[in-house]
Structure 1
Amino acid sequence: MRTTVGIIGAGPAGLLLARLLHNAGIDSVVLESRDRAYVERRQRAGILEQGTVDVLRAAGVGGRMDREGLRHDGIELRFARERHRVDFPALTGGSSVMVYAQTEVCKDLIALQIEEGGPLLFEAEALAVEGAESERPRVRFRHEGREDVLECDYVVGCDGFWGVARRAIPAEHSRVFERMYPFSWLGILADVPPSHDELVYARHDRGFALLSMRSSAVSRLYLQVPEGTDAGSWADEEIWDELERRFETADGWSLKRGGITSKSVTPMRSHVHEPMRHGRLFLAGDAAHIVPPTGAKGLNLAVGDVVTFARALVHLEETGSVERLDAYSETCLRRVWQAERFSYDMTTLLHRAPDATPFEDRVQLARLRRIATSRAAETDLAEGYTGFPLD
């Protein structure tokens, strides 16, 4: 099998890249180790930055998002039983975010790829990337019980932290930057309308809490819990009681309760692999970087990566210049490190470390009050949350 761009992974990054390349007249093949049903139901991020929304619309995949997604013009910060709303459009010149689950983005992109795009092979397990430093890199994969080879001009690894793409870069050419956090998130999905019309980020002495949503009828909520927590160790009522404590305000706001349909625990870590390119192998999304979910950056960073690659390849086709492809890693990493910085700031702003001192507690509250009383500090948060430029 032969193509211009071999894409490993049919998450939102790989699928969007295939769509962008198709729109530019560049052929690709997408290899995905899981079946279609799994890809379309796995729960991941749900906040799309302004730039991601614009890219999806321009790619012709924004119709259902605009009909069913929930545009949010701000978030609410809670601390010391106080509430402070951050108004995104007023602080950023009109930017907002969209609540639209990654599962839905994948469904939309898969439908278009099957209808209009190049080959999308499910249950096609990538085994190795070979010849990355040559002009004809290859992806060895297993599909329908037999091994095959995909010959490419370029390979883009959108196959996550555990995929084969990142492992194909020799250790002597790699640098890894990482931070592990001493807490996790206990997340629930509940069949109950959201208790607030925007996301609520709560800092509490007992730990962080987040009120989010998947739709107007389904709530997504999170609690900071100790690292290594078993989701099954928390009873439903215990979860609701703890959420109510951490979201408590002085004005009588109340939390709506409902049936919990799923529970999961998400570890918290930051990870960056440099460089994001080796020869004709390019890394995108979680294959290159991971952020704690506090800043809602993971999916959006992946979009930035594949947009950068697609634009660079189109530039090569139009001009013959490899300048932008050669600058891929450097270009992406500038945005990646800003997102890592923002996610780290949000995480340390809102979570209480297990060994936090009274001094550190007071500094946290001082940082939150600074945001609530300084337009400059509030603007910095709003600009980071709605997204850094894609160029």
Structure 2
Amino acid sequence: MPRVQFEDIIKTYGRVTVLKNLDLEIDDGEFLVLLGPSGCGKTTLLNLLAGLLDVTAGRITIGERDVTDLDPKDRGLAMVFQSYALYPTKTVRGNLKFGLASQKIDGAEVDRRIAWAARMLQIEPLLDRKPAQLSGGQRQRVAIGRALVKKVGLFLFDEPLSNLDAKLRTEMRLEIKKLHDELKSTIVYVTHDQIEAMTMATKIAVMDGGVIQQFGTPDEIYSRPRNLFVAGFIGSPAMNLRAGKITNGGGTVTAALDGVTLDLGRYGFASQPADGQPIVVGLRPEHFGAPGQALADAAGTFSLPVQYTEKTGGDATGYLKFGDGLIAARIDPEQIGRFRQGDTVDVSFPQGKVHVFDAVSGARL
């Protein structure tokens, strides 16, 4: 199970810089997700690791080997593509076998590997079918199987679930996570879907503008986003972000937001903020107290009119008019039917869950 390292990676296309002096280390057996919006550089980084693109500057190592200039076939990895990339004229067995053709493996070993992968992915009854006879989920299992039979320690996944419907995505997430737990291999997985990242990864690298904005465990990134981009990108519904100002005097620190004062006396500032400093406060919808419930440790209470509500089975969200916009607050789905547009509700927010960012740099304070 190799350790992967990117050192000072730069990738340019003419005058456009896609990756900017990027450093990243992936430990043995890690399930790393490269997460970010379209155009952030995550797929480019994966393709550099695979050898499908050339590095403009920098160094890539897998284990003890410098693979920066090696051909893809010599890097000791396997890749699963978004488009499945199956050969339509070959059976499932033929597709699994094809990836081993260049490795000069004897026939008995090839058969053993195909049987092992088919059993692990539960595609044994499909071995004699062709891709046109398979569902989308079955095709993706075959694509994963073609990577598995190579018996490598490093697997790359390029948005492998984006062509599947919601139910199949959920099923395949569990299958890929199960494979990682059983194989103990290193996985580098690209997605723009934060749910995939949060449920599958042991580590996440959140990317934007060719730069890693934050690297850490899913819990670290959710609980302590490093900047405004990460705060707004992670979470569903998204974190409420509202501009305000710090008041720091008389031994108390508060934030003023559109007429609401938040007590920040227990907030863990890295350094004392200046009086009057412009900030952005982040409040996750799921951390609001129930409407009408007075929290003992409340940073503040919002008394706001309901604009509209949204119920999705076992979850519900109220969107409340606040200043010139809305804030989202999770509400008990059994209670959401009580609220109508225009009703005023009181919702409190706990001190320990407030996030504060500098309004100019976007950095966490």
TM-score of the superposed pair, with normalisation by structure 1:
0.20
- Structure richer in strand, relative to its length: 2
**Could you say which structure has the larger radius of gyration?**
2
Higher relative contact order (CA 8 A, sep 6+): 1
TM-score of the superposed pair, with normalisation by structure 2:
0.21
- Structure richer in helix, relative to its length: 1
